[in-house]
């Protein structure tokens, strides 16, 4: 099964996430980034329509990963994806752990396992660090 990943976001976040992912994992096939820019929603939708038309010829399914739930980029990507009649899965809350999990394991897992494991990995990567101040004497201060 060939799975494409499409990152969607406000402005350049998706492009930056794609660049960061490829910095870690190397160049990837079937991996795209589309950002909603000042040109407006119609321009954005047209870019998505062209991409999904291209993907319909080469992949079995598409995972759309959005920056935030219910935002314009994700909502419009979902509508355009459904209109394309591609098999679309939609995930929001884009982070590097999520994208890397999808990229690095999409060829070895079922779509259901890929989605579950990717979202579990993304949740686990969100952590709060507890910083402690160490004085010049080397003792911890509270």
pLDDT given for residue 115 in this prediction: 97
Per-residue pLDDT of the chain (142 residues), as tens digits, is 899 999 999 999 999 999 999 999 999 999 999 999 999 999 999 999 999 999 999 999 999 999 999 899 999 999 999 999 999 999 999 999 999 999 999 999 999 999 999 999 999 999 998 888 877 776 665 5
pLDDT given for residue 138 in this prediction: 63
pLDDT given for residue 132 in this prediction: 83
The C-alpha atoms of residue 129 and residue 46 are separated, in whole angstroms, by: 42
pLDDT given for residue 142 in this prediction: 54
Q: Which of the 8 DSSP states describes residue 29?
A: S
Buried b (16+ CB within 10 A) or exposed e, 118-142: beebbeeeeeeeeeeeeeeeeeeee
Using CA of residue 90, residue 58, residue 31, residue 15, what is the dihedral sign? negative
């Amino acid at each position: 099964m060939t799975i494409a990943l499409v990152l969607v976001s406000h402005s350049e976040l998706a492009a930056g996430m794609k660049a960061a992912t490829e910095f870690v994992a190397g160049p990837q096939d079937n991996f795209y980034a589309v950002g909603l820019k000042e040109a407006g929603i119609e321009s954005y939708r047209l870019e998505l329509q062209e991409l999904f038309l291209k993907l319909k010829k080469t992949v079995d399914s598409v995972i759309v990963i959005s920056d935030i739930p219910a935002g314009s980029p994700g909502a419009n990507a979902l509508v355009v994806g459904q209109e394309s009649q591609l098999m679309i899965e939609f995930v929001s809350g884009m982070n590097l752990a999520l994208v890397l999990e999808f990229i690095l394991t999409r060829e070895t897992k079922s779509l259901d396992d890929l989605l579950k494991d990717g979202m579990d990995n993304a949740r686990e990567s969100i952590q709060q660090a507890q910083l402690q101040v160490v004085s010049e004497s080397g003792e911890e201060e509270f």
